[in-house]
Chain A
Amino acid sequence: MRIIQHPILGEYEKGEKVHFTLDGEDMTGFEGEAIAAALKAAGIMIHRYTVKEHKPRGLFCAIGRCTDCVMIVNGQSNVRTCITPLEEGMIVQTQYGVEAQEVWEANNK
Chain B
Amino acid sequence: MRRHELIVIGAGPAGLSAAIEAKKAGMDVVVFDENERPGGQLFKQIHKFFGSREHHAKVRGFRIGQELLQEAESLGVDVKLNSVVMGIYENKEVTVKKDNAVNHYKADAIIIATGAAENMLPFKGWDIPGVIGAGAAQTMMNIQGVQPGSKVLMVGSGNVGLVVSFQLLQAGCEIVGIIDAAPRVGGYGVHAAKVARTGVPFYLSHTIVEAKGTDCVTGAVIAQVDDRFQPIPGTEKELSVDTICVAVGLTPMAQLASNATCDIALLPQKGGHVALLSKCGETSVEGIYCAGDVAGIEEASSAMIQGRSVATYVCLKAGYLSEEEFQEKYDRYQAALGQLRQGMFSPENKGRNDFTVTDEGYPVSSNLLAHGYMTEDELDNFPAYTYKKAGVHPVIECTQNIPCNPCQDSCKVGCIKVGENITMLPAIDEEKKCVGCGMCVASCSGQAIFLVDETYGEGYATVAFPYEFIPVPQVGDQGTALDRQGKPVCAADIVEVKKSSVMDKTVVVTMKVPLAFVNSARFYKAGGQRG
Using a CB–CB distance below 8 Å, which chain A residues touch chain B? 1-3, 5-9, 12, 14, 33-34, 37, 40-41, 45-47, 55-65, 68, 82-83, 85
Q: Are A7 and B147 in contact (CB under 8 A)?
A: no
Contacts A7-B469, A58-B130 given: A46-B140 contact, CB under 8 Å? no
Contacts A6-B145, A63-B136 given: A58-B216 contact, CB under 8 Å? yes
Contact of B133 among A7, A58, A62 (CB under 8 A): A62
A–B pairs, 12, beta carbons within 8 Å: A2-B146, A2-B147, A3-B147, A5-B470, A8-B170, A8-B505, A9-B142, A14-B145, A37-B145, A45-B130, A59-B140, A65-B117
Q: Mark B247-291, 1 if CB is under 8 A from A, else 0.
A: 000000000000000000000000000000000000000000000
Which residues of B, 21-43, contact A by the 8 Å Cβ criterion? 34-36
A72 to chain B, nearest CB (A): 17
Which residues of B, 123-138, contact A by the 8 Å Cβ criterion? 127-133, 135-136
Chain B: how many interface residues by the 8 Å CB criterion?
Answer: 37
Q: Which residues in B have their C-beta under 8 angstroms from that of A63?
A: 35, 135-136, 139
Known: A37-B146, A40-B140; 20 extra A-B contacts, CB below 8 A, are: A1-B146, A2-B146, A3-B145, A3-B146, A5-B470, A6-B171, A33-B145, A37-B145, A40-B144, A41-B146, A45-B129, A56-B129, A56-B215, A57-B129, A61-B118, A61-B136, A62-B133, A64-B34, A65-B117, A68-B127
Q: Are A7 and B170 in contact (CB under 8 A)?
A: yes
Q: Which residues in A have their C-beta under 8 angstroms from that of B172?
A: 1, 3
Contact of B136 among A6, A8, A14, A62 (CB under 8 A): A62
Q: Are B140 and A60 in contact (CB under 8 A)?
A: no
Q: How far apart are the CA atoms of A92 and B8 in the complex, in Å?
A: 36
**Which DSSP category, helix, strand, loop or mixed, fits chain B's interface?**
loop
Closest residue on chain A to residue B169 by CB atoms: A7
Contact of B139 among A7, A45, A82 (CB under 8 A): A82
B422 to chain A, nearest CB (A): 25
Q: Are A46 and B216 in contact (CB under 8 A)?
A: yes
Q: Are B135 and A61 in contact (CB under 8 A)?
A: yes
Q: Mark B52-80, 1 if CB is under 8 A from A, else 0.
A: 00000000100000000000000000000
Q: Are B129 and A37 in contact (CB under 8 A)?
A: no
Q: How far apart are the CA atoms of A41 and B469 in the complex, in Å?
A: 21
Q: How far apart are the CA atoms of A68 and B472 in the complex, in Å?
A: 38
Q: How far apart are the CA atoms of A48 and B36 in the complex, in Å?
A: 24
Q: Which residues in B have their C-beta under 8 angstroms from that of A65?
A: 117
Q: Which residues in B have their C-beta under 8 angstroms from that of A58?
A: 129-130, 216
Contact of A40 among B36, B46, B133, B148 (CB under 8 A): B148
Which residues of B, 111-168, contact A by the 8 Å Cβ criterion? 117-118, 127-133, 135-136, 139-142, 144-148, 150
B236 interface hit (Cβ, 8 Å)? no
Q: How far apart are the CA atoms of A47 and B117 in the complex, in Å?
A: 22
A27 to chain B, nearest CB (A): 14
Q: Which residues in A have their C-beta under 8 angstroms from that of B150?
A: 1
Q: How far apart are the CA atoms of A62 and B138 in the complex, in Å?
A: 9
Which residues of B, 412-471, contact A by the 8 Å Cβ criterion? 468-470
Closest 7 pairs (CB-CB, A-B): A58-B129, A62-B136, A12-B145, A37-B144, A62-B139, A45-B129, A45-B216
A55 to chain B, nearest CB (A): 7
